[in-house]
Structure 1
Amino acid sequence: MPAALLAIASLAASAAPAASDGDVQLPVVRTVLPSGEPCVRASTDKAEKQPWSRQVLGLSRAWTFSEGAGVTVAVVDTGVGTDVPALSGRVEVVGDAGEDCVGHGSFAAGLIAAAPGEGVGVAGVAPEARILAVRGTGTRGETTAGQLAAGIRTAADKGADVIYVGRALATGKDELTEAVAHAARRDALVVAPIVPDTLPKDRTTGKPVERAPWYWPASANGVLSVGDYGPGGGRPEDAPPTHGADLMAPGDAVVSVGPRGSGHYYGSGSSLAAAHVAGAAALVRARHPELTAVEVARQLTVGGYPADPPQLDPFGALTTVLTDPPAAAPRQAPAQLPEDAPTVPRSRALAIAGAGGGLMLLVAGCAVVIPRGRARSWRPAHGAEGERRSSD
């Protein structure tokens, strides 16, 4: 992979104001806007080259089987702009989620479901899927566990088939675990990043703080947790480690749409990798509507490129045929004796046992009688008693 693309990944990870895609400078999407900064404006630039992620994911092959039609993917994030041509006519909004000041939710929605445009072919994984915009943050991207949990519940109650969550929090285990369980009861697959896109920095050293042992909702049971990689499989040096992810997907140096207009933006992070996986889940649910959310997650992980963790392969997820789980071992029948067991051997054994017992009694009796008989010169006991009386 060209060194220029690796340099691009580093630029994006450091949250530079713009990043290069060939000869074009694209604005970088962020998760949170600093206080006082205006909302993101429409980008006037477009990528001139096909994004590396589209080729790696093999989307053209996958689309011969499914494009996600009939499936709804909820985007629980900063909102999704309703003035995005690549998503035109396919965005349903809950509350005020149609306003996206930050641009992150719109960017993720584009990775999930943007229709292919002219030219370089920037497109989402499931270009016929529908998007349900659900606010999971404040207007500037700040969020709490309660906001994310409420977003997940709302998305499930609205009938979403796949629920994309654009955040990873070090707290909120109980609230977010319960929200995920609520979604599972409605057979909605929750997809979330295994770590935040960036870690907070130490005020003294300026270095990112150590990664927390768990992030939520990704660590909740039933969530498909996703880590990111960039061109050539690498990751920026200061990117949070993604060990423990269920699946890896392109997330660094990726291109998508913004909250309005037809221009492109640029971004990096596990939240963007999770968007790719959410799109792939839509492809699988459209092609295999009989599968449960748990089975869709298994289809994605087992059908991925062999690695540790596996890497997303939409074509593999769509075409892999999983065998049924091993059947339980047959229960062994209890041993039974024949109903009409032969009586002769049993009688013979009892006779032998009785004879042996009688012989033992005879020997024991002799051991007592013989010494006493010798002592009396073998005379009857009553005769000896009469002789003693006569002599007296």
Structure 2
Amino acid sequence: MRAARTHRPQTVAAASAVVAVLLAAVGAAPAAAESVELPAVRTSLGSDEPCATASTQRVETEPWALSSLGARRALTLSEGAGTTVAVVDTGVSEKASGLAGRVTAVGDAGSDCVGHGTFAAGLIAAAPEAGAAGPSGLAPRARILAVRGTDERGDATAQRLADAIRRAADEGAAVIYVGRALADGKAVLSAAVAYASKKDALVVAPLAPDALAKDQSGELVKPEPWYWPAAAPGVLAVTDFGPDGKRPENAPVVSGADLAAPGDGVVGIGPAGKGHYIGSGASLAAAHVAGAAAQVRARYPELSAAEVSRRLTEAAYPAGPPRLDPYAALTAVLPETSGTVPTPGVAVVPAAASVEPRNRALVVAAGSAGLVALVVAAAVVIPRGRARGWRAGEN
């Protein structure tokens, strides 16, 4: 079971957010760029609130999240072609810019009143605009399977999410992105994840909700120790970080994440038009991981879902938790077995050598030495004897 988890409230105001400051923080915005106010993407809407509409604002520079992930470099190796990513969320608008012609909807999931599912799908697979440097997905040639995991206003139940995960697996999705984290539903959501795993689908989910609920007094509800389906075995649980590589100073410590990815101050597409939205939270970080998973599955179709998960986590930038690195996941050479240490070979002690050859060698060496000594002596004694007139046989 995973360690206890906490999260922080939504950091982006519901009305608007300033994007240029975030872009300038990573050197993405021109020095003289003016602030661009973008509407914030929501996870749910009240019963009397209007549906999300096309944004009238755009960002014309590469978002910090794509720069941080080295997206351009990774795209030279894989664009997710041939891979289907299920988006289990508020729906995915079939009219969304960058996704046209690549969205297959289950039931009424082809419309998105809230806009969150479309935003996440854009981070996963939106194609870049020709001649523009705005937001796009990590897997722009992947197909999106829209499966509604909430009602029209964005409210989710464990059973509805579980049914959506199972449906996505039945439809053949290679990666299943879940945009919700619930405090209940352990049994039903764990069973749904196990079902998807048997069908070789990789489930990616946020570690915790993007925003904590408030009680009747207006105080934030205490975070739960675990959220589902992220805590279920086999799920890639994802947390978020911002443009400075850190989470906000007032954010509670989060533990138990498998990966971290850009999720705070993230720019993406809306449900209609060519304008952009901004959002924050672990659900958006999870969308980036789902896009990277699609890239890996496209480049290495022989890998199982578990092997893709391992490649993403073991090739990640070492940190606590590890940070998503799409290019490394596409190129790293990993050990054959995760977490193993090479076993040294058994030392073989040779049998004791026979002493007979050694003894023979010593005898031969001694004899040779004696012969040499006799020759040397003869060479000295005989000439001297002759010099003195010595003759053999004389007394």
TM-score (norm 2): 0.78
Q: Alignment partner for residue 330 of structure 2, among 294, 299, 318?
A: 318
Structure 2 residue matching 1:256: 3-state secondary structure: strand
> Shift of the alpha carbon at 1:210?
1.8
CA distance in structure 1 between the partners assigned to 2:275 and 2:12 by the alignment: 22
CA contact (8 A) 1:51 1:122 kept: yes
CA distance in structure 1 between the partners assigned to 2:120 and 2:319 by the alignment: 25
Q: Alignment partner for residue 74 of structure 1, among 86, 95, 98?
A: 86
Q: Alignment partner for residue 150 of structure 1, among 163, 167, 175?
A: 163
Larger mean CA deviation between 178-187 and 111-120 belongs to 111-120
Q: Alignment partner for residue 179 of structure 1, among 189, 192, 209?
A: 192
Tell me whether 1:196 sits opposite 2:209 in the alignment. Answer: yes
2:319 corresponds to: 307
CA contact (8 A) 2:215 2:221 kept: yes
> Shift of the alpha carbon at 1:331?
12
Instruction: State how 1:196-235 maps to structure 2 within 5 Å.
Output: 196-204=209-217, 206-235=218-247
> Shift of the alpha carbon at 1:329?
6.4
CA contact (8 A) 1:43 1:261 kept: yes
Structure 2 residue matching 1:70: 3-state secondary structure: coil
Tell me whether 1:288 sits opposite 2:300 in the alignment. Answer: yes
CA contact (8 A) 1:160 1:188 kept: yes
1:160 corresponds to: 173
Q: Tell me the alpha carbon deviations over residues 332-361 of structure 1, each in whole angstroms, 9 at most, x when there is no partner.
A: 9xxxxxxxxxxxxxxxxxxxxxxxxxxxxx
1:262 corresponds to: 274
> Shift of the alpha carbon at 1:48?
3.0
1:124 corresponds to: 137
CA-based RMSD: 1.9
Tell me whether 1:17 sits opposite 2:15 in the alignment. Answer: yes
Q: In the comparison of the two structures, how many residue pairs are matched?
A: 322
Tell me whether 1:102 sits opposite 2:105 in the alignment. Answer: no
Structure 2 residue matching 1:152: 3-state secondary structure: helix
**Sequence identity of aligned pairs in percent?**
61
Q: What amino acid maps onto 2:266 in structure 1?
A: V
CA contact (8 A) 2:189 2:229 kept: yes
Higher share of residues assigned helix: 1
CA distance in structure 1 between the partners assigned to 2:247 and 2:219 by the alignment: 17
> Shift of the alpha carbon at 1:176?
0.1
CA contact (8 A) 1:156 1:188 kept: yes
Alignment CA distance shift 1:322-1:49 (3 Å)? same
- Structure 2 gaps of 5+ residues are 1-7, 21-34, 347-395
CA distance in structure 2 between the partners assigned to 1:50 and 1:198 by the alignment: 26
CA distance in structure 2 between the partners assigned to 1:246 and 1:329 by the alignment: 28
Alignment CA distance shift 1:328-1:55 (3 Å)? closer
CA distance in structure 1 between the partners assigned to 2:117 and 2:97 by the alignment: 15
CA distance in structure 1 between the partners assigned to 2:180 and 2:251 by the alignment: 15
CA contact (8 A) 2:12 2:279 kept: no
CA contact (8 A) 1:197 1:239 kept: no
Q: What amino acid maps onto 2:154 in structure 1?
A: G
> Shift of the alpha carbon at 1:34?
1.5
Q: What amino acid maps onto 1:194 in structure 2?
A: L
- Structure 1 gaps of 5+ residues are 1-9, 333-392
> Shift of the alpha carbon at 1:21?
1.8
Alignment CA distance shift 1:268-1:175 (3 Å)? same
Q: What amino acid maps onto 1:196 in structure 2?
A: P
Alignment CA distance shift 1:132-1:240 (3 Å)? farther
Q: What amino acid maps onto 2:222 in structure 1?
A: E
Q: Tell me the alpha carbon deviations over residues 240-269 of structure 1, each in whole angstroms, 9 at most, x when there is no partner.
A: 643110000000000000111111100000
Q: Alignment partner for residue 254 of structure 2, among 242, 251, 275?
A: 242
Alignment CA distance shift 1:194-1:240 (3 Å)? farther
Q: What amino acid maps onto 2:125 in structure 1?
A: A
CA distance in structure 2 between the partners assigned to 1:13 and 1:328 by the alignment: 46
2:59 corresponds to: 47
Structure 1 residue matching 2:296: 3-state secondary structure: helix
CA distance in structure 1 between the partners assigned to 2:63 and 2:277 by the alignment: 12
Q: Tell me the alpha carbon deviations over residues 155-195 of structure 1, each in whole angstroms, 9 at most, x when there is no partner.
A: 00000000000000000000000000000000000000000
Q: What amino acid maps onto 2:98 in structure 1?
A: A
> Shift of the alpha carbon at 1:88?
1.1
Q: Alignment partner for residue 89 of structure 1, among 101, 105, 108?
A: 101
2:38 corresponds to: 26
CA distance in structure 2 between the partners assigned to 1:267 and 1:53 by the alignment: 12
Structure 1 residue matching 2:173: 3-state secondary structure: coil
CA contact (8 A) 1:195 1:240 kept: no
> Shift of the alpha carbon at 1:85?
2.5
Alignment CA distance shift 1:237-1:16 (3 Å)? farther
Name the larger-Rg structure.
1
Structure 2 residue matching 1:283: 3-state secondary structure: helix
Q: What amino acid maps onto 1:15 in structure 2?
A: A
CA distance in structure 2 between the partners assigned to 1:238 and 1:195 by the alignment: 16
TM-score (norm 1): 0.79
